[in-house]
Amino acid sequence: MKFTRANIYGFGKWVDKEIIFNENELNVIYGENESGKTTLQKFIMFILFGQTAKEQVAHQPIESSKFGGILTFLDANNQEVSVERTKEQLTIYSPTETSNEEKVLTTYLNGLTKQTFMSIYSFSAVDLLQIRDITEQEFGNILFNVGLAGATNIEIAERNIERETGKLFKKTGRIPTLNKQLTKLEELVSIEQKLKKQESYYAEMKEKQKSKKVRLQNLIKKIKATRIEADFISKQRHLLPAINELKSTKEELQKFPETLDFPEAGIKRLEKYKESLIPLLSNQASIEKNMLNYKEELEKLEKSILSKEMYDLASNLQKDRNNYEHYLVESEELTRTLEKTANEIELGLNDLAIPLNIESFKVLSLPYYLAKTWKSIEEEALQLSQIRKEIESEQLMLENELEMIETETNQLKHKLLALEELDKLKEQLINYTQSTKQTTQFNEHKINQSAKKKIVQGGLGVVTLLVILFFITTSSLFIYSSIGIAIIIASLYYLVNYFEKKNEQLIHSLVANQSSSLTKDEYIKIKKQVEKQDDYYMQLKFLENEKQKITREQLQINERSEMFKQRESIFNERVLDERKEYDFLNNIDPIHWTELLTILKQLKEKETYLTEKELKNIQVNEILNAYEQRLSNILNNLSIMNYEQLVAHIEAHKKADQLISNYKEIIAKLRDEKSLLDEEINYYQAEIRALFKLASVENEEAYIEKYYKSEEKNRLNEQLSSYYSQLETSFDLATIKQLLQKNQDDYDLDQKNNELKIEITQYDQEIEEVRTELATLEAELSQMEETEEYSNVFHKVTHKKARAKELAFEWAAMKLATDTLEATKRSFHQKYMKDVIKKASTYFKIITKSKYIAIYPPEKGKPFSVETNIHTRFVIDQLSQGTIDQLYVSLRIAISSVMSEKYSVPFLIDDAFVHFDHKREKAIMLLLKEITKEQQVILFTCKKHLLELTDGKVLDLTNQ
């Protein structure tokens, strides 16, 4: 999936905005803070995964009623798909269909969820803080979450299983359910053994009870069998038309021969063979005509070529022509070289400008090992020079970094508010929160006050009723009771009014305080300001850590400088020894010694070279004379003037000879094609004859007539099979066969069905009678028992054993689930760990310019560690913040790359290079460009200078 454009109807600050993405290059979206970068990312998440109603309210444009938009992307087949999402609905437009279902979008995302997308393909500067504290188990869980869709639910299930397992059983516990169940079971078994008595005195009644139960079971079996028979008759009655149709079809089939031979798809095959024969016969005639034309041309060409003997002599001479011309050039070159070499030997010594004349040069010895000795001195000199530059460069770079850190620290300190002022802002936020809570309480109080008023009004109504009754009744008890109730209600009314006045005073106080509190906009503004101050304090802490890291690096560089001085002293002693042996080296830098030695050896070689060239010149002249004699003889034999005419004769011969060869090949190919066509024509003719033979006919007309008969028989067979299929849903084949042999009508089946219904009614009455007798017998047995305690204990023991067995099975199932989940996590850990670390190490090496060459994951309580190019390892706390960020970025990109086979979606990065210097930024931008070849990358940044490092798609959100 690669995004191509986004059309925003309305989302946050964006209204009627179109954004174009480049699917093949790095997309950089630049904008200052509050310019809408984060809103654009959330819009993409909204289109792909939707939002809750509350989230939609937060992103509703203030000045527009529009909401939603369209996101267009290229799918796996490079076809354009548009996803439109508004508050009300989702619409997906593809080249093949239009859909409103989420599952269609999920198919394009290959099952990718929002959580998985955010954990793999999107990260920001805030995420960079996580890597310091990642343990081995947590890193394994990260890989597990990446490699398995729904891993979050699996982790929740794992925790729930562990908690529920602990609730069920512990080896030394008393509280878990299974432990309690086992304790109670032991107690009940002990009681059961004490209460168990002989119960032989009611064995006879028990036997009667058993007999009645057997009788009841037999009756139930009979009524069940009768009902099955009634059901069979009903099915037979229902399917009687199908049975009759089946009989009729079988009778029609009997009219046809038992075997009616006709090839499968016989008509189609015949037509296919006939269609194939027509072009083959046409091609056969065309090939025969072409073969005749090519044979005539071949005869003409064979008469126009040279004889073989003359062609061989001329051809050999032409082959040697290049050598002849080469020797001509070589002869001229040798003459010039002889003169030049003599001058070079004389001038070479003069040009060296060293205290070495011709006489001393002739006696100068240059042994074979001298080149290796001087080369090692030259390499040592270059290495020392390079090391000196590196030490000075690193010292300067660290000083610059310290200066930058100091500058950033001072800038952050100027941005910090005084602690008193910050505390006041936080206090205002707390007061606003409390004020909001009090407002809620005030609204609740209003509701309660209304309810209380209704209660008081009801009480006053009761008092009024009592007063009326007081005047119309003569009962003294009622009078005194009415007076007491009236006094109580009046007291309650007084207390309610008293507390209402107090509450009203408190409410007025709350309202007054609320009127002086912050507005919602002011609250949001102060909250953002406090969050920004907290961010400044965090950045100061990071800068202090990096400053300490740089100080440690300066100490390491000073140690390297001391070792360099010792090495340089040893090198100077070696140079002095060589200058004593060869005094002409005194004023020459060691880095030029190897070059000087090469020149001296070249001058030595030129003495021998001059003699060799003189002998070579004599040999070349002899070869030239021999070639010119051969050329003269051939020109005379062919009666031509020069070599150019000879070349023309040879070329004409070659062209004619090539045409002869081509025509022969073409004739051979045509002959082969004709042979193949003949075979193919014979094949189709034989196939047609075979079809007639299979159908036992002699010609095409009889063949077609037999086809129609075969089709009719097949139709009847299909109809027969359809009726069998319809009947097999209710009967087996043996039953169907029996039904076909019977001649039954509707009346007989209805009569039989009514008889079975009467029989079922009789069985129902008899079963009810047996059940009544059995209930009476069981009541008598219950009265005969001395006590129910044994039965109750026996029942409890049975129940507790069954419950304990269920709990034990449940505990074992949970343990098995826990072990399975652990094995699954280990498997995914091993599957993805190797690939992720390998790719991350490659990316980390690129970003750090090969300063670090390997990454090692956390293990045995240790955090991430890295290895330098000199094979020194550092744990993550020993690295600078910039290097830690580089490590995190490498890991995130590696995880995305590993998962790209499963999910192919764009990679979103939001200002993740906060602590990168210019060199590191340049390296990461080059890496992102390389990744873009395989996966679309969209970088959101507020750093304007990053735009200079990209030649891809750049979108500037400033002032939009």
Instruction: Give Cα separations from 804 to 192, 282, 746 (angstroms).
Output: 17, 89, 59
The C-alpha torsion from 374 through 375 and 376 to 379, rounded to 10°, is: 120
Average pLDDT over residues 629-654: 84
Among 752, 769, 733, residue whose Cα is nearest residue 226: 752
459 vs 926: which has the higher pLDDT: 926
Instruction: Give Cα separations from 302 to 8, 145, 296, 662 (angstroms).
Output: 79, 80, 11, 13
Question: Rounded to an integer, what distance in angstroms lies between the CA atom of residue 468 and that of residue 479?
Answer: 11
pLDDT (tens digit per residue) in 23-63: 778 888 888 877 788 888 888 988 888 888 888 888 888 87
Burial environment of residue 881 by CB neighbours within 10 A (0 to 12, 13 to 18, 19 or more): buried
pLDDT (tens digit per residue) in 121-165: 676 655 544 544 455 455 555 554 444 434 444 555 566 666 666
Asked if residues 432 and 518 have their Cβ atoms less than 8 Å apart, the reply is yes
For 40, the 3-state DSSP assignment is: helix
- Decide the pairing of beta strands 852-856 and 937-941: unpaired
Encoded tokens for 444: 């609740």
Instruction: Please determine, for residue 72, whether its predicted confidence score (pLDDT) is greater than 90.
Output: yes
Question: Rounded to an integer, what distance in angstroms lies between the CA atom of residue 466 and that of residue 472?
Answer: 10
Residue located via tokens 């174009």:
20
Instruction: Please determine, for residue 512, whether its predicted confidence score (pLDDT) is greater than 60.
Output: no
- Positive or negative, the CA dihedral 771, 775, 780, 786 is positive
Residues 6+ away with beta carbon under 8 Å from 334: 613, 616, 617, 620
Identity of the residue numbered 232: F
Where helices occur in 416-475 by DSSP H, the ranges are: 419-472
The one-character DSSP state at 591 is G
Tell me the range of 11-20, 232-241, 363-372, 439-448 where mean pLDDT is highest.
11-20
Encoded tokens for 686: 């034989």
Question: Rounded to an integer, what distance in angstroms lies between the CA atom of residue 514 and that of residue 546?
Answer: 47
Instruction: Please determine, for residue 438, whether its predicted confidence score (pLDDT) is greater than 50.
Output: yes
Instruction: Please determine, for residue 886, whether its predicted confidence score (pLDDT) is greater than 50.
Output: yes
The radius of gyration of the chain from alpha carbons, rounded to an integer in Å, stands at: 52
Instruction: Give Cα separations from 733 to 230, 234, 727, 742 (angstroms).
Output: 20, 18, 9, 15
Asked if residues 843 and 927 have their Cβ atoms less than 8 Å apart, the reply is yes
Where helices occur in 31-176 by DSSP H, the ranges are: 37-49, 53-58, 102-108, 114-120, 136-147, 151-168
Asked if residues 583 and 355 have their Cβ atoms less than 8 Å apart, the reply is yes
Tell me the range of 335-349, 387-401, 498-512 where mean pLDDT is highest.
387-401
Q: What pLDDT score does 6 carry? A: 92
pLDDT (tens digit per residue) in 893-908: 887 777 665 667 787 8
Average pLDDT over residues 728-741: 79
pLDDT (tens digit per residue) in 681-693: 888 888 888 888 8
Q: What pLDDT score does 788 carry? A: 56
Confidence of residue 820 (pLDDT cuts 50, 70, 90): low
Question: Rounded to an integer, what distance in angstroms lies between the CA atom of residue 938 and that of residue 43?
Answer: 14
Q: What pLDDT score does 68 carry? A: 92
Asked if residues 837 and 857 have their Cβ atoms less than 8 Å apart, the reply is yes
The one-character DSSP state at 859 is B
- Positive or negative, the CA dihedral 541, 546, 548, 549 is positive
Confidence of residue 336 (pLDDT cuts 50, 70, 90): confident
pLDDT (tens digit per residue) in 542-600: 888 888 888 888 888 888 888 888 888 888 888 888 888 888 888 888 888 888 888 88
Residues 6+ away with beta carbon under 8 Å from 586: 579
pLDDT (tens digit per residue) in 931-956: 887 788 888 888 777 777 777 667 77
- Decide the pairing of beta strands 98-99 and 90-93: antiparallel
Q: What pLDDT score does 69 carry? A: 93
Helix H or strand E segment including 954: strand 953-956
Q: What pLDDT score does 266 carry? A: 79
What are the φ/ψ torsions at residue 451 (nearest 5 degrees)? -65, -40
Instruction: Give Cα separations from 706 to 258, 300, 684, 711, 712 (angstroms).
Output: 14, 59, 21, 9, 10
For every residue of 535-580, DSSP letters joined together read: HHHHHHHHHHHHHHHHHHHHHHHHHHHHHHHHHHHHHHHHHHHHHH
Average pLDDT over residues 472-488: 61
Average pLDDT over residues 741-754: 79
* Percentage of residues in the chain having pLDDT higher than 70: 76
Question: Rounded to an integer, what distance in angstroms lies between the CA atom of residue 321 and that of residue 820?
Answer: 83
Q: What pLDDT score does 38 carry? A: 85
Average pLDDT over residues 912-926: 76
Average pLDDT over residues 512-524: 66
Residue 701 half-sphere exposure, CB side, CA atoms within 13 Å? Answer: 0
Q: What is the mean pLDDT of the chain?
A: 77
Task: Residue 543: count other Cβ atoms within 10 Å of its Cβ.
Answer: 17
The C-alpha torsion from 216 through 221 and 224 to 225, rounded to 10°, is: -140
Q: Which of 351-365, 469-483, 763-777 has the least mean pLDDT?
A: 469-483
For every residue of 461-482, DSSP letters joined together read: HHHHHHHHHHHH---HHHHHHH
Confidence of residue 729 (pLDDT cuts 50, 70, 90): confident
Q: What pLDDT score does 82 carry? A: 92
Asked if residues 3 and 71 have their Cβ atoms less than 8 Å apart, the reply is yes
- Range 773-799 burial, b when 16+ CB lie within 10 A, else e: ebeebeeeeeeeeeeeebeebeebbee
Confidence of residue 505 (pLDDT cuts 50, 70, 90): low
Confidence of residue 374 (pLDDT cuts 50, 70, 90): confident
Task: Residue 309: count other Cβ atoms within 10 Å of its Cβ.
Answer: 8
Encoded tokens for 316: 């050999």
Among 10, 56, 2, 54, residue whose Cα is nearest residue 36: 10
Q: What pLDDT score does 144 carry? A: 46
pTM: 0.35
Asked if residues 44 and 905 have their Cβ atoms less than 8 Å apart, the reply is no
Encoded tokens for 620: 């070349």
Question: Rounded to an integer, what distance in angstroms lies between the CA atom of residue 348 and that of residue 708?
Answer: 107
pLDDT (tens digit per residue) in 699-714: 878 888 878 888 777 7
Residues 6+ away with beta carbon under 8 Å from 637: 310
- Range 350-376 burial, b when 16+ CB lie within 10 A, else e: eebebeeeeeeeeeeeeeeebeebbee
Tell me the range of 236-245, 310-319, 471-480 where mean pLDDT is highest.
310-319
Among 31, 36, 3, 21, residue whose Cα is nearest residue 121: 3
What are the φ/ψ torsions at residue 162 (nearest 5 degrees)? -65, -40
